[in-house]
C-alpha cells in the first residue's frame, strides 16, 4: 500500500485521511447512541481533563509529573480492562500517525 501512496497526489491523500478520520466520528456517535460514553471518550471526560491541564500552572513540577504518571496509569488500566483504547484515543493516534507522513 505504501508504494501506491507514494505516487498519489496530495489532494487525494488529504481526502483519504479525512475519510479515515470520519469513521471515528461515526463510531463515536454509535457509542454515544448506545450510552457508552466510556467507549467514546475514555476513562474521563473532556471537562475533567481540561480542569487538570489548567491546574498544572500553579503547581510544582514534581506534582505535575506525578499527576501525569497517574493519568497514564489510569488510562493503561482502563485499556487493559476494556481490551481496547477509547475511540477518541484511537483517532488521536491515527491523526498523529497520518500527520507524521
Residue 96 lies in a domain: yes
Given this model, what pLDDT does residue 89 score?
Answer: 84
Q: For 36-88, how does the pLDDT look when each residue is reduced to its tens digit (9 = 90+)?
A: 877 877 777 656 666 777 777 777 888 888 888 888 888 888 889 888 888 88
pLDDT averaged over every residue in the chain: 78
Given this model, what pLDDT does residue 8 score?
Answer: 67
Say which residue, 47 or 27, is predicted with more confidence: 27
pTM: 0.60
Given this model, what pLDDT does residue 4 score?
Answer: 54
Residue 100 lies in a domain: yes
The model's confidence at residue 100, banded by pLDDT at 50, 70 and 90, is: low
What is the tally of structural domains in the chain?
1
Residue 82 lies in a domain: yes
Question: What is the span of the domain harbouring residue 81?
Answer: 47-101
Residue 14 lies in a domain: no
Average pLDDT estimate for 26-43: 82
Residue 32 lies in a domain: no
Q: Where are the alpha helices (DSSP H) in 1-101?
A: 2-6, 10-33, 37-41, 46-55, 61-82, 87-99
Place of cell 505535575: 64
Question: What cell numbers appear for 9 in the block?
Answer: 497526489
Amino acid at each position: 500500500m505504501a508504494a501506491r501512496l507514494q505516487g498519489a497526489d496530495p489532494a487525494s491523500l488529504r481526502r483519504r485521511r479525512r475519510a479515515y478520520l470520519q469513521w471515528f466520528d461515526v463510531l463515536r456517535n454509535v457509542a454515544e447512541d448506545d450510552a457508552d460514553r466510556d467507549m467514546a471518550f475514555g476513562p474521563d471526560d473532556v471537562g475533567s481533563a481540561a480542569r487538570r491541564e489548567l491546574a498544572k500552572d500553579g503547581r510544582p513540577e514534581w506534582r505535575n509529573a506525578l499527576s501525569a504518571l497517574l493519568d497514564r496509569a489510569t488510562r493503561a488500566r482502563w485499556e487493559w480492562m476494556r481490551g481496547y483504547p477509547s475511540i477518541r484515543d484511537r483517532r488521536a493516534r491515527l491523526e498523529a500517525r497520518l500527520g507524521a507522513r
